[in-house]
Structure 1
Amino acid sequence: MSTKRLISIIVASILGIILLSAVFTSWYTVDESEQAIVITFGEAGDPIIESGLKFKMPWPIQKVEKLSKETFSLQFGYKQAPDGEVTDTFDKDTKMITGDDNIVLTDLVVQWKITDPRAYLFNSESPQELLHDATSASIRSIIGNSKIDDALTSGKAQIEADTVELLGSLIDKYDIGITVLTVKLQDVELPNAEVRSAFTAVTDAEETKNTKVNQAEKYVNQKMSEAEGEKDAIISEANGYKTARIQQALGDVELFNKLYAEYANNKEITRQRLVMETLDAVLPNAQIYIMNDDGGTMKYLPLQQLESNKQTTPPPTATEKQEGSGQ
């Protein structure tokens, strides 16, 4: 084989390899759980978050870096095996001093995501180590401004919220393409077993207090509901009495108007009738006589006696009626 033919074969082989490399390195896929960024001669382009088959210039002109969209967990102060068992603890990381000069051991979990692939890849050599250091600084600052009772009992939620806020502001300043989602305190305890037992008793007492307070509030609400019901009943009864009195007053007014109309037409007769009715109402057992006042012999008519005789005399029987008619 001649030298010229050998060179041609070598050149063709090189070109074939280059062509195959261009074909196989010009296409890439992005999964639903991934985000990609294309790097052209070391310069990063815009993030690609849509999934599917994508095209780029062949290597070494362009290359692709893929990053996950999932939520990551940073376990601060301990490591946890896949089966859930805690395999190691780091007392030097978790040992902190509270605002009232007590020592506590604090374990926590930080949930975070990659939200800027370009900053994550190029603004820091190790973004996760930087996140770990920022977490340590944040939790130590918050615990250092908190009392031990808050750290061990009812103040954990506030400590978590303050840590998220402080850690998020630090990560924004570092600009490493990470967003902190949540901070969850896994365990806050004292290094001494005897002191831990005492604080456990304090925690139990706090829970008992809260239970009693809730029961008292329930009792207050019950009594308030009963009082409201009684109040509504009294108001309803008063409104009913008010309406009855108004109706009675309107009836009295109507009666008075009718009496006044009669009085206007027959003043003397109406006056005498009103006097008689008033006397009968005021003196129900008195005997009433009708007398003349012309200065002569006094004559009277015993109305009560006549009325009593009328009520006590029995009606005539059929025989008496026949005899009377015969006579």
Structure 2
Amino acid sequence: MAWNEPGNQGKDPWGNRGGKDQGPPDLDEVFRKFSSKFGGGGSGNLNKMGLMLVLVGGLIVWGLSGLYKIEEAERGVVLQFGKYHDLVGPGLKWKPTFVHTIYPVNIQRINKINASGTMLTQDENVVTVQMEVQYRIVDPRKYLFSVTNPEQSLSEALDSALRYVIGHTTMDNILTVGREKVRRDTWDELQGIIEPYDMGMQLVDVAFKEARPPEEVKPAFDDAIAAQEDEERYVQEATAYSRQVEPQARGRAERMLREATAYKERVVLEARGEVARFTQLLPQYEAAPVVTRERLYLETMEQVYSSTSKVMVDNQEGGSMFYLPLDKIIQSQQPESAPNASSNRQPERVIRTEPSSDRSGGRTTTRQGRN
């Protein structure tokens, strides 16, 4: 049953028990009663109190929004109304919102930037080069405000430095032995370009990643590079061989020189000994020439025949003499344990004595048989 129908006995949910007022209560009256419970004052006090609550809530939100954190590897650049104010270190910080603006900058990270392109060399060839630069931020303030876009500025400077160096280098040096020089020259040229801008960067490394000829002529360049590598390998092998052979040749030459010197000294000493011996022998020869001459002859013959096989044949009666195969007889008499001894022995000699008119009583004739 509705509250305003007959039989409801005037029970009004809005508090009108008499049933005379059929509408909802006045909102002003409700707020007036609510404000009276807090000391009265009417709607003016209520507006002030609501404004205070809004202000306190906004102040709390504003204070909490100013909390921020700077990481260990970062530094915070503080701007006050858009102007540089301070540089803060790592940790939990607070800033007045809408007054300060914080830009965190990582000063420990190694950043990379690449440059590549097709460039013209000094000898008017075309080469495709790719290079990478690694840098680190050392001054966050200069990095943010020295130039508009530091990364783009560094990229353009790298491209300019690389084209300058490639334009002053030949194709062969870029592809083979001159890569390190190109890398170092590019580093120096890039450092000279960015130094006047003072961008707060420090170059860590410049890496020469790739250098190749155009695809249309790449097989010919590959053959040329292979030939140069073979040439270098052959040169190294020849150098190693010369270093190995030269000491041996020097050693042999030194040995031959020492042997020649020793032979010279030996011959000189032997000659001096012979001269001294003949000098001592001269008085004896003058005293007894026949005996001395015979003794010299016998000593000489003893020295000659000391290493030869000899057969003495006395042929005083004259007549013909048949020679025996002395070499075969002597070879058959040698021991079997020395089969090669016959190749080292001297030729056999046959000595025949015949009558002579000198004082020795006979003449000795030496005949050399066939070996």
TM-score, normalised by the number of residues in structure 2? 0.53
Name the structure 2 match of 1:114.
137
RMSD (Å), alpha carbons:
3.5
User: By how many angstroms is 1:105 displaced?
Assistant: 1.7
Q: Among 20, 42, 50, which residue is 1:9 paired with?
A: 50
Give the drift of 1:16: 3.2
**Cα distance, 1:143 vs structure 2:** 0.8
Q: Where does residue 297 of structure 2 map in the other structure?
A: none
Structure-2 residue corresponding to 1:65: 103
Alignment CA distance shift 1:180-1:229 (3 Å): farther
Identity among equivalent pairs (%): 23
SS in 2 for 1:204: helix
Work out whether 1:170 is the aligned partner of 2:210.
no
The answer to whether the Cα contact below 8 Å between 1:113 and 1:178 also exists between their aligned partners in 2 is yes
Number of residue pairs matched by the alignment: 230
Higher helix share: 1
Partner-residue secondary structure (3-state), 2:84: strand
Residues 1:152 and 2:179 are matched in the alignment: no
Residues 270-313 of structure 1: CA deviation (Å, up to 9, x unaligned) = xxxxxxxx9999459969x9xxxxxxxxxxxxxxxxxxxxxxxx
Structure 1 distance, partners of 2:67, 2:188, is: 43
**Largest Rg, 1 or 2:** 2
Distance 1:133 1:283, change over 3 A: same
Alignment-mate amino acid for residue 208 of structure 1 = D
C-alpha change, 1:196 and 1:4, in structure 2 (3 Å) is: same
SS at match of 1:35: strand
Task: Select the structure with the greater relative contact order (CA < 8 A; seq sep ≥ 6).
Answer: 1
Judge conservation of contact 2:79–2:102 (CA < 8 Å) in 1.
yes
Give 1:158 deviation, angstroms: 0.8
Correspondences of 1:257-268 after superposition (within 5 Å): none
Pairing partner for 2:71 from 4, 12, 30 = 30
Q: Secondary structure, in 3 states, of the residue corresponding to 2:144?
A: helix
For 1:40-60, what per-residue CA distance to the aligned partner results, in whole angstroms no more than 9, with x for missing partners?
332335545x54x24343223
Structure 2 contact 120–166 (Cα < 8 Å) conserved: yes
Alpha carbons 2:65, 2:97 under 8 Å: kept: no
User: Aligned residue for 1:250?
Assistant: none
Return the letter of the residue paired with 1:209. E
Aligned to 1:146, what secondary structure does the other structure show? coil
- Map Cα deviations across residues 234-265 of structure 1 (whole Å, 9 max, x no partner): 9xx99xx9xxxxxxxxxxxxxxxxxxxxxxxx
Taking a change above 3 Å as real, the CA distance of residues 214 and 7 of structure 1, as seen in their structure-2 partners, is farther
The letter of the residue matching 1:116 is D
Pairs within 5 Å for 1:203-282: 203-223=225-245, 282=280
Q: Is 1:117–1:177's contact at 8 Å kept on the other side of the alignment?
A: yes
Structure 1 residue 75 displacement after superposition? 2.2
The 3-state SS of whatever aligns with 1:180 is strand
Amino acid at match of 1:25: G
Unaligned runs of 5+ in 1: 78-93, 242-277, 290-327
Distance 1:27 1:185, change over 3 A: closer
Counterpart-to-counterpart distance in 1, 2:48 and 2:255: 112
User: Structure 2: 5+ residue runs without aligned partners?
Assistant: 1-30, 32-42, 263-275, 288-371
